[in-house]
Amino acid sequence: MVQRQLPKVGELLELMQFKKPELDARKRRLDAALTIGDLRAIAKRRTPKAAFDYTDGAAEGELSLDRARRAFEDVEFHPDILRPAADVDTSCEILGGPSALPFGIAPTGFTRLMQTEGETAGASAAAAAGIPFTLSTLGTTSIEDVKAATLREPQGPIPGRNWFQLYVMKDRDISYGLVERAAKAGFDTLQFTVDTPIAGARLRDKRNGFSIPPQLTVGTIVNAIPRPWWWYDFLTTPKLEFASLSTTGGTVGELLNAAMDPTISYDDLDVIRGMWPGKIVVKGVQNVQDAARLVDQGVDGIVLSNHGGRQLDRAPIPFHLLPKVVREVGKDATVMVDTGIMNGADIVASIALGAKFTLIGRAYLYGLMAGGRQGVDRTIAILRSEIERTMTLLGVSSLDELEPRHVTQLTRLVPVDGSAVDTRV
């Protein structure tokens, strides 16, 4: 028989400790976010539908994005037991410089439409974390202001770095001018993007009537009513300006089609290579043959990417391509990967299969929409914690210890035999 007694007040107080309330609403909601998915849910509540869907959506049926995320979910890890990994080192050398973590922030366009702090929040958070930040050609903060935001951040043991992403425009002088400005500002790496000769069919934007600048309709007004803070920020902060667009007015796809040049070629790459003094990386590589040719052309690195699923739907899955490309060119060039990364474990799996680095796009933007600069800090903190925990559970103390044997890529998509055979006679 269990002997029962009346509870003693002193013992109850020991068992019941009330948590001090957090009065800062932003900090309270961000502290409650334990995953990137949690940040996405906050972002969706706080951002007008058109701006959120521009970030969250992909091309056509959004199959490429869904498959990329599923590829990371279909990873099986193989941990080593009885291998102490108490002190995990997540730092690495990438493209001639250090990074405190094996990921950087990918280039994103029209970023201040998602949250008014935009690229400034991303660049300063990246600098504080000691990781690279990439500014898009279609960014809404100038090259010089991004550099200034990086320099304003107190420099830790690993300083912040700036990379610049380049689209080759129909007006080549615009692109050349951006290259010169980025070099002058001290950006150390150029990402030459090759998967956007025209805009993909981003159907969410068309259905929402999403345009630059935003156009008011009955629908947008109704959607804005529960989100007055977004409109207050948008209307009381400096006008959106674009480094590469002299005129605006139309959907994002229309603006891209007006600016981009579908005739870009290896000749353009040669011209830019001759202009750029730092490292040059080609972003948007989607097969082994192109990777090999680019390495022969002398690029410093490649990014396996299908543009976050925002261009060609049903494009190859970058994570599935990774082992083949690493075997082909990994000894001669830096291989990186993006698209679909939503967890630090995704990053660990990529490094184990040979990637030297990864890039996050939507994960960063979900944090930005959820809480500005503090939200980006939270994104980085979540991914850092997941990376460290996954490495510790695998029994590895550094990124160099990660090997292909630690990962099996499970797949639900298996090519049909003969589907790629040329049957022409």
Q: Is 109 annotated as a binding residue?
A: yes
Beta pairing class for 407-409 and 75-77: antiparallel
What pLDDT was estimated at residue 216?
A: 61
User: Model confidence over 112-136: pLDDT tens digits?
Assistant: 989 999 999 999 999 999 999 999 9
| Residue located via tokens 């603006």 | 255
Among 286, 300, 355, smallest CA distance to 327 is for 355
User: What's the confidence (pLDDT) of residue 423?
Assistant: 45
pTM of the model: 0.92
The alpha carbon of residue 411 and the mean position of all alpha carbons in its chain are separated, in whole angstroms, by 23
Flag whether 286 is marked binding.
no
Residue 202 annotated in ligand binding:
yes
Q: Using an 8 Å Cβ cutoff, are 345 and 386 in contact?
A: yes
**Domain coordinates in residue numbering, the chain:** 27-409
Task: For the chain, give the secondary structure using H, E and C.
Answer: CCCCCCCCHHHHHHHCCCCCCCCCHHHHHHHCCCCHHHHHHHHHHHCCHHHHHHHHCCCCCCHHHHHHHHHHHCEEECCCCCCCCCCCECCEEECCEEECCCEEECCCCCHHHCCCCHHHHHHHHHHHHCCEEEECCCCCCCHHHHHHHHHHCCCCCCCCEEEEEECCECCHHHHHHHHHHHHHCCCCEEEEECCCCCCCCCHHHHHHCCCCCCCCCHHHHHHHCCCHHHHHHHHCCCCCCCCCCCCCCCCHHHHHHHHECCCCCHHHHHHHHHHCCCEEEEEEECCHHHHHHHHHCCCCEEEECCHHHCCCCCCCCHHHHHHHHHHHHCCCCEEEECCCCCCHHHHHHHHHCCCCEEEECHHHHHHHHHHHHHHHHHHHHHHHHHHHHHHHHHCCCEHHHCCHHHEEECCCCCCCCCCCCCCCC
In the structure encoding, which two tokens stand for residue 404, read together? 């292909």
Residue 379 marked ligand-binding: no
| Interatomic CA distance for residues 81 and 407, integer angstroms | 15
Which pLDDT score, from 0 to 100, does residue 214 have? Answer: 65
**How far is CA 76 from its chain centroid?**
23
Is 17 assigned a ligand-binding role in the annotation? no
402 within 8 A of 90, measured Cβ to Cβ? no
What pLDDT score does 183 carry? 97
For the annotated catalytic residues, the residue numbers are: 307
130 and 156 Cβ atoms separated by less than 8 Å: yes
> Is 238 assigned to a binding site?
no
20 a known binding residue? no
Contact between 326 and 317 under an 8 Å Cβ cutoff? The reply is: no
pLDDT tens-place values along the chain, 425 residues long: 788 877 777 777 777 777 788 888 899 999 999 999 999 999 999 999 989 999 999 999 999 999 999 999 999 999 999 888 889 999 999 999 999 999 999 999 989 989 999 999 999 999 999 999 999 999 999 999 999 999 999 888 898 899 999 999 888 998 999 999 999 999 999 999 999 888 899 999 888 887 766 666 667 667 777 888 887 887 888 877 776 665 555 666 777 777 788 899 999 999 999 999 999 999 999 999 999 999 999 999 999 999 999 999 999 999 999 999 999 999 999 999 999 999 999 999 999 999 999 999 999 999 999 999 999 999 999 999 999 999 999 999 999 999 999 999 998 888 776 555 554 55
Selecting from 3.20.20.70, 3.40.1280.10, 2.60.40.10, 3.40.47.10, what CATH number does the domain 27-409 have? 3.20.20.70
54 marked as part of a ligand binding site: yes
Give the model's pLDDT for residue 386. Answer: 98
Separation of alpha carbons 215 and 218, rounded Å: 10
User: What's the token pair of residue 32?
Assistant: 């409650």
Q: Is 165 annotated as a binding residue?
A: yes
Residue 42's pLDDT is 97
Question: Is 136 known to sit in a ligand binding site?
Answer: yes
Q: How far apart are CA 307 and CA 195, in angstroms?
A: 7
